[in-house]
Structures are given as C-alpha cells and as structure tokens.
Chain A
C-alpha cells in the first residue's frame, strides 16, 4: 500500500517535470526541470532495489550532466531574450500526435502482454553487479572505455577554437559559414512567424 502511494507520487512528479521540460519557454527552466526528472528516476531506481544505479544516476546525471547543459546554455545565449524561444505551432500539433501515438502503441503492447514476470525473489546486490561487469561483460566494459575516450577527444576537437593551432583550411572554412548567418535567419524567421 505504502509503496504504491510512493510510486504514484514519484511518477506524478516525474511526469509533471517531463512535461515542463518539453514545454517550458525558458531554457534554464527546461534544464532545471530535467534535473527534477532525473532525481525522480533515481528514486525509482531505489524502489527497484538498484541502489548503485540510483547513486550513479545522481552523481553522473543530476550532478554532472545538468551542470554541463547549463554551461552549454550560458555559452550559447547572448542575452536574456534568446533564452525564450517559442515552438512553432504547426509542429506542436504534429509532435503531440506522434507522441500520443507512440504512447498508445507502447501502452497497448504492455497491457496486451500475457505474462509479465510478477513475483520476484531477492535482488542480488552490488557485489553481483561488479562481478558481472568484470567477468561476463568485461569485453563490453573495455569497449566502453574506448568509446568514452573517443567521445572526450571528439568533444575537445569540436569545441576547440578553429584557429587554435589547426591548419588554415578549417579557419578558412569558418568564414563563409559566418557570412550565411543573416541569410539563413531571414529565410526561416518569416515563415515561422507566419505559421
């Protein structure tokens, strides 16, 4: 009884936060609501007896990723006005339709599945998790390490200033891109506002 009430409360908070993430007009609010959603996910992990997963969720997502996204916003917004960007209304209806269709399909599939596992024994602890990581999934673990290295290098290469020590071709490539800026803006701002 008590765990059902707790689940309902957490699920409602998470859904409300998720709706705010996709509907909030202020970008900083979007990211902060995402933080509420991620913390709620961590609570769900605790309910599912996955304490290690819950801790990783809090440390990696709510701690690290949120800060990173806030930095991303702060670095790419010139003023307070560019923080608030309305959605174009014609795509909103389309998105709502597809979102509702996806939920309908998933919910239908879940409710029609004849035998979901219902009773559950004791959950193996974090020790078993570590054992699985370094025996059965050791290769995947190593590949993941290489992936993280590649992502780090990729992020550094992308985010570095174009003229900081790389060849002139990439510095030259940036100039025409800057020139197209007013043209691209003009093309898309008008139909967007008209619709």
Chain B
C-alpha cells in the first residue's frame, strides 16, 4: 500500500464533506459534513506519520481530534441556541445574521 492510496482516500472523503457543507440545509447535517472533512485531514496526518516512521504526525492528529470535538460541542450548543430563537435548525432561517 503506497502513501498515495491513503491520500486519495482522504481527498475523496474531504470532497464529499465539502459537498455536504455546501448543500445541507440542516445545521446538524452540516456539522456531520465538517466531521467528514476533519477526518480526512486526520487520515493524512496518520498516513504521513506512518510513511515517515515518525510519531509526530500522530501527535498532530490527536491535537486535531481534540480541537474538532471541542468545535462540535460548541457547534451543537449553537444549534440548540438557534433552535431556541428560531424554532428550527435550518441554516436559511439564520440568514438575517449576515446583516
């Protein structure tokens, strides 16, 4: 298995996640798509770590995992806030935020 196979898998997952972020209307579904993209980045970090036989990439992947989880926690609380003020979690109902 070459490194490029892992990079290609991560690139495909990232692109699918990008499509999801751009097209999903529900805020929770957008968060799920962001998870796809973050995971693709983690796969890249772990793959480079393996093929260079250094553990530093895994350290970075762990940092990015923790940051992603923190981001989803804040994101979900924002979703709940959105629901409380708008009555639904569709992103277009918050489009008045753009000012």
Contact = CB atoms under 8 A, between A and B. Distances in A.
Given A14-B13, A102-B14, A124 B55 contact: yes
A158 B96 contact: no
A37 B39 contact: yes
The list of the 8 closest CB pairs from A to B, nearest first, reads A22-B20, A99-B19, A151-B70, A95-B22, A103-B15, A106-B11, A95-B23, A158-B77
Interface in A167-181: 174, 177-178, 180-181
Interface of A: 3-4, 7, 11, 14-15, 18-19, 21-22, 27, 30-31, 34, 37-38, 41, 44-45, 47-50, 52-53, 56-57, 60-61, 64-65, 68-69, 71-73, 75-76, 82, 85, 87-88, 91-92, 94-96, 98-100, 102-103, 106-107, 110-111, 116-118, 120-124, 128-129, 132-133, 136-137, 140, 144, 147-148, 151-152, 154-156, 158-159, 162, 174, 177-178, 180-181, 184-185, 188, 192
Given A60-B65, A94-B23, A117-B3, 12 more contacts: A18-B16, A18-B36, A22-B33, A61-B65, A72-B28, A116-B3, A116-B51, A132-B56, A151-B73, A155-B76, A159-B81, A180-B96
Contacts of B90: 85
B11 A107 contact: yes
Contact of A85 (B25, B46, B78): B25
A103 B15 CA distance: 5
A121 to B, nearest CB: 4
Interface residues of B, number: 77
B93 A21 contact: no
Contacts of A57: 42, 65
B99 interface: no
Contacts of A65: 35, 69, 72
Contact of B28 (A15, A64, A73): A73
Given A15-B12, A48-B6, A177 B86 contact: yes
